Amino acid sequence: MATAVDTVGAEQEADTLPEDYRPAPDEPFMGPRQTIYFRRKLLAWKDSILREAKETLAQLQTDSLREPDITDRASSETDWSIELRTRDRQRKLISKIDAALRRIEEGEYGYCEVSGEPISLARLEARPIATMTVEAQERHERNEKISRDD
């Protein structure tokens, strides 16, 4: 768990981390620079989702579904239904982002929950909420498919 001294050090490090920084394989895995980078990435992603949700809510409150033409009304209702399903998926994504942020705080971020091995930087870059290496994820999906087929 991070101490007050660690937190101050991390904040100072965050101030010096360039905006164009990208994790490199030749630096310590999940060292301060990489954890700050992924924390920033996750927080920015979460902020973006929350901003979009607020915009959707504002749009829902201002737009009226009382269109005179029944076809237009049906089309609008379908569009809003799709939009609300998207927001629901994003709400679930926020909980995964929060879990990843907790793993960063606990020092577990970037390591496979199955094997304990480091997850590749490329995978974390593409999917910062990943909890398994590609190999462990493939095994998990194969086992899931086999159990579904039974």
Burial of 58 (C-beta count, 10 Å sphere; 0-12/13-18/19+): exposed
Q: Return d(Cα 65, Cα 74) in angstroms, integer.
A: 9
Rounded to an integer, what distance in angstroms lies between the CA atom of residue 114 and that of residue 85? 31
Q: Which residue shows structure tokens 């829902």?
A: 60
Residue 7, pLDDT score = 43
pLDDT band at 8 (very low <50, low <70, confident <90, very high): very low
Express each pLDDT in 73-124 by its tens digit.
Answer: 777 778 778 878 888 888 899 999 999 999 999 999 999 999 999 999 999 9
CB atoms within 10 A of CB 56: 16
For 26-53, write each residue's pLDDT tens digit. 999 999 999 999 999 999 999 999 998 8
